[in-house]
Amino acid sequence: MSASAVFILDVKGKPLISRNYKGDVAMSEIDHFMPLLMQREEEGALAPLLSHGRVHFLWIKHSNLYLVATTLKNANASMVYSFLYKTVEVFCEYFKELEEESIRDNFVIVYELLDELMDFGFPQTTDSKILQEYITQQGNKLETGKSRVPPTVTNAVSWRSEGIKYKKNEVFIDVIESVNLLVNANGSVLLSEIVGTIKLKVFLSGMPELRLGLNDRVLFELTGLSGSKNKSVELEDVKFHQCVRLSRFDNDRTISFIPPDGDFELMSYRLSTQVKPLIWIESVIEKFSHSRVEIMVKAKGQFKKQSVANGVEISVPVPSDADSPRFKTSVGSAKYVPEKNVVIWSIKSFPGGKEYLMRAHFGLPSVEKEEVDGRPPIGVKFEIPYFTVSGIQVREAGREVPLCAFSGFPVSPVPCLKSPGITGVSHHASPPLSFLSWTTFSLFMPCHFLITLCHIFPWPKPSFPSDPWHLAPTSLGHLILFPFRSVT
């Protein structure tokens, strides 16, 4: 079954926009949502699906807004939640930031989008690029003549318009990886996984059919290339864009597709592999006569010296009743964030193979607060450009059909691109790859790699040097990288 109505509420639960698709649920039922949500939150039993009588509320929160779908019967919850998240993506494409102000300023377009996104409770056109063809933010002059359905809606390739033409054909490939680690008090890694995405930015004419080859272990085994000289990775939980031909991937592991125009996410994947923390954290906390507390944190970079972590932030939890903060750092700066009960140690640049220390002093009230078992973990986040952990590589990229969709359009070959011996899990990638040709070619380079690491550390009891302030720089934990493109 499907959704009956969709609501967009402000942070107080007041409806900003609503659309009734089936008419079987009274629109006044939404008045019960916020009291029910607050009640469940107070009870500690908050759930993504709430019920009032026979009406069910499926909801998500984005920024200061609630997106709620109501249904009277046993709906397909996965489909409804996917629709709500896709709706957020579409609104962000149109308004850049989805918040209460953008909804109020663009309520006409929001209603138009809701009419196209869902019909009688079933998702319809949810591709923002197709929607932007006939729902625009600029005023359009009235055109006389017979109205017609946009061709991309009825085409077999609904995600790409016909008649696209560029003077220069280019494709940019970005590989973005997020590494999630959980380390216990003994220094053992409890959880380690890599979640990656491959994003493309396409500027190609006509209807190009592209092929992408990765160093997939299953592919190497099928082609007989498995061996010590060919580094491969075993991809899990692979999810593709709708443009990818799944039957061909199942047969020969070839990623063949007609790409949408512009930016899109080609695929996402997960790797269950053992990864050591790129930035190792050790910490000690001491209390003195219930009057003050001292925290010492040491961060050590465990990646190659050639790489540099940027925008490092170490979040160190402190007692909720602490006051009078004082800090001393060997590099960077530290600040106390009382609303979160953490100290944030910021380091602008953190080279590999270095170490840094931070000391924090806090006063405590004379009346000791009841001790609570356990402490929140230390969180670390940082960015490392041109660095990959999994070792995934784009080994082949090209066009399936070497014919251009436009007559007289020049097609010139481009030499093969090879990286200068870049291998292993820790390396610098070559400059961003720019495909200047329709001709099939092979490459042995990791292209554009961006990583997001999230390390969570416990509170072990390490040993510190006698003079902790004469240490060289080092690197730390959570990694988020953004693509840096340049046209070759």
Whether the full predicted model's pTM is greater than 0.75, yes or no, is no
pLDDT given at position 379: 86
Q: Is the pLDDT of residue 10 over 80?
A: yes
**Predicted pLDDT of residue 71:** 92
Window from 28-37, 95-104, 276-285, 422-431 with minimum mean pLDDT:
422-431
**Residue 456 pLDDT exceeds 70:** no
Helices 77-95 and 107-117, interaxial angle, to 10°? 140
Residue 270 near residue 236 (C-beta atoms within 8 A): yes
CATH 3.30.70.600 fits 5-134, yes or no: no
- Does position 329 have pLDDT exceeding 80, yes or no? yes
Question: What pLDDT score does 58 carry?
Answer: 94
User: Nearest CA to 71 among 120, 12, 11, 14?
Assistant: 120
Tokens of 402: 């070497």
User: Which of 256-260, 277-281, 409-413 has the least mean pLDDT?
Assistant: 409-413
pLDDT at 231: 65
**pLDDT value at residue 154:** 54
Mean pLDDT, rounded, of the chain: 74
What pLDDT score was predicted for residue 332? 93
Locate the domains of the chain by residue range: 5-134, 162-488
pLDDT higher than 50, residue 317: yes
pLDDT over threshold 80, residue 361:
yes
Residue 439: what pLDDT? 25
Q: Tokens in use for 22? A: 């089936």
Beta-strand pair 170-183/448-457: parallel
Residue 405 has pLDDT above 50, yes or no: no
Confirm if 67 and 54 have CB atoms less than 8 A apart: no
Segment (H or E) for 219: helix 217-223
The residue ranking higher by pLDDT, 203 or 487, is: 203
Could you report the per-residue pLDDT of 156-167, keeping only the tens digit for each?
677 888 888 999
Identify the DSSP state of 385.
B
What is the spatial distance between Cα 130 and Cα 150, in angstroms, rounded to a whole number?
A: 9
The CB density around residue 316, as the number of other CB atoms within 10 Å, is 26
3-state secondary structure 354-385: CEEEEEEEEECCCCCCCCCCCCCCEEEEEECE
User: Residue 158: which of 237, 258, 62 has the closest Cα?
Assistant: 258
219 pLDDT band, cuts 50/70/90, is low
Q: Average pLDDT, stretch 288-296?
A: 83
Q: Does domain 162-488 have CATH number 2.60.40.1170?
A: yes
pLDDT (average), residues 73-82: 88
Q: Mean pLDDT, to the nearest integer, of 290-295? A: 84
In which band, very low, low, confident or very high, does the pLDDT at 235 lie, cut at 50, 70 and 90?
A: confident
More confident call, 435 vs 131: 131
> Any idea which residue has 């969180």 for tokens?
379
Lowest-confidence segment of 196-210, 372-386, 474-488 by average pLDDT: 474-488
Query: In whole angstroms, what separates CA 392 from the centre of its chain?
Result: 18
Could you give the CA distance from residue 91 to residue 16 in angstroms, rounded to a whole number?
14
Identify the residue with better confidence: 473 or 309. Answer: 309
pLDDT single digits (tens) 34-74 = 999 999 988 888 899 999 999 999 999 998 899 999 998 88
Identify whether the C-beta of residue 206 lies closer than 8 Å to the C-beta of residue 164. Answer: yes
Query: How much is the pLDDT for 404?
Result: 30
